[in-house]
Structure 1
Amino acid sequence: MPPASAAETLLSWYDRHARPLPWRVSPRNRQQGEVPDPYRIWLSEVMLQQTTVAAVKAYFEKFTRAWPTVETLAAAAEEDVMKAWAGLGYYSRARNLKKCADTVAGKYGGRFPDTEEELLKLPGIGPYTAAAIATIAFDRHAAVVDGNVERVLSRLFRIETPLPDAKPEIRAKMGDLTPQARPGDFAQAVMDLGATVCTPRRPACVLCPWMSACAVQGSALAESLPRKAPKKEKPTRYGAAFVAVDRNTGAVLLRRRPPSGLLGGMTEVPGTHWSEDFDRSAAAQDAPFPAPWTQKTGEVKHTFTHFHLRLTIFRADLEATGTPGLEDAWWSAPDRIEGEALPTVMRKALAAALEPERPGSG
């Protein structure tokens, strides 16, 4: 199928089947003159990195209610942005989100650049995000390639080279297919095709508008594409978390992590370093300050991009009199803990510490 015919076929399908997403302008509304908001496109693309659409929707709506424009986000306190992001993961995205908003509001007068080259100069924006914003928000011709696009084109053209080595070929194919007219809608159409029809398992080939042109349609080979290089086994690191609770009010002692590095700028309960050779049998000796620490039953398990984590949990009930020797720490009352910038692993640690012991345990 010639690229022009392929694009026309897919756009016709997209006009009927486009997913309604809170950041998207529907194809019908675009044809009636509605223009996408670059701020909403940028925000959604940053949130969608390594995260599912289902998980992002609620966060996107929370952010746009609190900060409806890039100027309002730039004016927000970084701590508030981190709190709103808590639970979404990959926290460097949140830090770069704030930096990017500051740059767009300050250097560009609140208007996002409309080319890939200029967008790449902004904090936290890489090649994919720059292409997506330029294409979807400004209808610039660019090859937008995410995981859905990689799957669709690997199957359409029977690209059997494993990822990531196949990326240049897939990007070139996407560039060839993307039409000059409606490139933004076309990019979203390929993404929707991958999300709803050309799925990782049991693709619905009979519903695909590109079925007749697909090199693997209906075959067992489809589910094996795209091929991926074998993943390296993740190491497991260990550590301990120490949850201090004010016996009178139920407040919990929290502190802020350093601004850079893993979970930078987020909130945590005091704890140890995390390492593969951490001595769990002597974890109590690493407590941040003297207190009647009691080890909780079991451990908290969490997985990051590059390693698994196992945390031994300790709890101490005491009188809250200052923050014993801890910098940038505070006592958070029970009704405020939910709104703290606690990443998921720290929420797990708190839940494990605050859960009552079962009879016979410990």
Structure 2
Amino acid sequence: MTDQGPQTSVVGLDADVTVRRGTLDLHAQFRVAPGEVLAVLGPNGAGKTTLLRTLAGLLALREGRVSVAGTTWDEPSSGVFVPATDRRVGLVFQDYRLFPHLSVLDNVAFAERARGVRRGAARAAAREVLRQIDLEALADRRPGQLSGGQAQRVALARALASGPAMMLLDEPLAALDARTRLEIRAELRRRLSAFAGPSIVVTHDPLEALVLADRILVLEEGRIVQTGTPSEVARRPVTEYVARLMGLNLYSGRLADPELGRIDLEGGGELVAAAVPAGLQKGDRLLAALAPTAISLHLGELPEGSPRNVWEGTVSGVELLTDRVRVAVEGSPAALVDVTAAAVADLRLAPGLRVRLSAKAGEVTAYPAP
């Protein structure tokens, strides 16, 4: 193989992935545009890591096709399978997987050395990447001499130094403490934004997805349940899992009165939304999202001019969440409500207490069910 430095091509990913691994039956069809960062969210066992391993060539497709820039990497029907070692993929793992016996410089140069590039050329290219990421001062250190944040940045440098067509990152910030995660998250966003090819970040952290990604894909039980921009997913979740991640109460129901915006909820009760999507008719299914901060709790009668949504319930749990308290209320509908610690004391909130809840119609976001 001839010597060559890192080369980055502008590419896009076209994936139709069907894989069976143990009890998981994964099927996901999606595209990632050149320069786009896609975050893959999902609960444990949803298929996130399996999807990443398949794209990397560590698992073979059962059916479907994976192509980058029109070049097929995996297609069982035509007998095409490009092994992982021959795919130009930059991989960043949760545990970084740096070689402890190699210096930072030689860790970063490893991918090009593995492809047959001479040591001098690979090290020169690696040093340039380290310089670009402000890590040149660490070139002679061993991984054991690095902090968690430094190790993560070296792992990113190693992935970029391979001249990847695509970047794949598996929980890249999970091993870092909260303060370091904040610093590295901003830098990671800058580096991925500057990368010309598609990037996929697997994470269980909704904030990580919202900050890093141009678009979010949500997997549940091996299926795509939602895709959209961070704003779309955060404001209009379509499953209970996504709603919990985004900190919202989510209700499904049917439109009972299009003019008044009244929604009959499937779990009992009703909500009134100030606006419903145009074109929906009486009886059509829709979803309604309501933030815990938009709901108020009361012990007695509500004052005049109260919100249009008022219902009763019983406190079932009280939990401290850093700067606020989350109160779980069983009722029709059930709700999570965020209040201050002072409100907990003033209202003497405790499990078993009967309360009244209220929410303005303008705080209810109604949209068509998928």
TM-score by length of 1: 0.28
The answer to which structure has the higher helix fraction is 1
TM-score by length of 2: 0.27
The answer to which structure has the higher strand fraction is 2
